[in-house]
Amino acid sequence: MFAVRPDRRPSGAGGDAAFESRQGVRFEGVSKTYEGSTVAVDSIDLECPAGEITVFVGPSGCGKTTTLRMINRTVLPTKGTVSLGNRDVSQLGLNELRRGMGYVIQDGGLFPHRTIQQNVATIPLLTGTPKRQAYAQAVELLARVGLSQDLAKRYPYQLSGGQRQRVGVARALAGDPPVLLMDEPFSAVDPVVRGELQQELLQLQRELRKTIVFVTHDMDEAVLLGDRIAVFAEGGRLAQVAPPEAILTDPADPFVENFVGGDAGVRWTGLLPATDVALSRPPTVTDTENQSADTWRLRIDSSGRLLGWQPPGTASPDALVPCRRTFRPDREPVRAVLDALLLSPCGLAPAVDADAHLIGVADAAAVGDVLTTHRGQVS
């Protein structure tokens, strides 16, 4: 599932006493070697800009998670420096460092013996927030990540995987940390829930402007979420660091090209806003009309809500063919328009608003115009 990536440029916000707001993360000559001379991370130089999402992507065992964990000193580098803002993390107190960072892992990493409310309130309580205030903030955060306050008194085992993951995000945000570390947080849930969580993270980032370092092995997820993508190769080598558009259209070497895959062009359309696609007046028939036509038409109800496709030569609503795919121009990318075109019985992609009211249709020529324009901008 894809959504248009919102503008996430940093603006405003505050921080706690331990950390200044808008701190980026920087790796300078960082390596990690384990016993037996096994190189997990090989001399990387990398900047994770403040207020942006930097995604670490690559195959299993390439050093993504090891690199992430060196930020909060869960793993110590063999050589090199990891900095938060202008401060070497090795010079910060461990409690100070970790309480200034949110950390989200698969399945939320929740404490099974604590209620959801207690889980979310963990960091505020550790930093001296009064219990009543911390619990009230926890309920507010649950709402922010799309969970009902009715869940506050439940335990993790009573929640679904997607709900536990949302709680994990709420807990990571509870101390209002300027930095969030996210280690494959959505990989354990089904595709539908995963898409919902991705879109919720983008919405949260639009509001909060955190510095987020996100680990995934999924290139689609990296392209959707990342302001910048760091592609890791075998042996902990950093193969390329660039915005998603550049990774897809100008891979640095054969490894990156192969990792991105043969559908890089299709992925690229996931970055282009559907609002750029020109809509035309749709051929419609209302639910009170019963006259046939020689072309496909879209049947709508009295309020303009889309009901389905009316095949040529038919007049009865009973003959309707369901719309397998529509798109929301304000929320989805050109990739969604292409999908709707391919699944349409007549080469027209229906565009709808939030209430499923038909607002127009897009055809292949309109999509082609957008691709031509953006291809010229990339080149």
Encoded amino acid at 43, one letter: S
pLDDT digits 0-9 by tens, 106-140:
877 899 999 999 999 998 998 889 999 999 999 99
pLDDT digits 0-9 by tens, 214-260:
999 999 899 999 999 999 999 999 999 999 989 998 999 999 999 98
Phi, psi for 37 (deg, rounded to 5):
65, 30
Residues counted in the chain: 379
Global pTM value: 0.81
According to DSSP H, which parts of the chain are helical? 64-69, 94-99, 116-120, 122-126, 131-144, 161-173, 191-208, 219-225, 244-249, 254-260, 264-269, 334-343, 364-378
Pick the CATH number of 275-378 from 3.30.70.890, 3.20.20.150, 3.10.580.10, 1.10.490.10: 3.10.580.10
Cβ contacts of residue 37 below 8 Å, gap of 6+? none
- Please tell me which of 12-26, 61-75, 186-200 the model is most confident about, judged by mean pLDDT: 61-75
pLDDT at 36: 72
pLDDT digits 0-9 by tens, 160-201:
989 999 999 999 999 888 999 999 999 888 888 888 889 889
Structure tokens at 142: 């649950």
Q: Tell me the pLDDT band of 13, cut-offs 50, 70 and 90.
A: very low
Provide CATH code, domain 25-265.
3.40.50.300
In 3-state terms, what secondary structure has residue 176?
Answer: coil
Domain residue extents for the chain: 25-265, 275-378
pLDDT at 378 over 70: no
pLDDT at 3 over 50: no
Compute the average pLDDT of residues 61-75. 94
pLDDT at 189: 85
Cβ contacts of residue 258 below 8 Å, gap of 6+? none
pLDDT at 6: 44
Gap between the Cα atoms of 270 and 371, Å rounded = 11
Report the range of poorest mean pLDDT among 59-73, 126-140, 260-274: 260-274
In 3-state terms, what secondary structure has residue 333?
Answer: strand
pLDDT at 317 over 90: no
pLDDT at 287: 79
pLDDT digits 0-9 by tens, 343-355:
999 999 999 999 9
Compute the average pLDDT of residues 202-206. 90
pLDDT at 195: 87
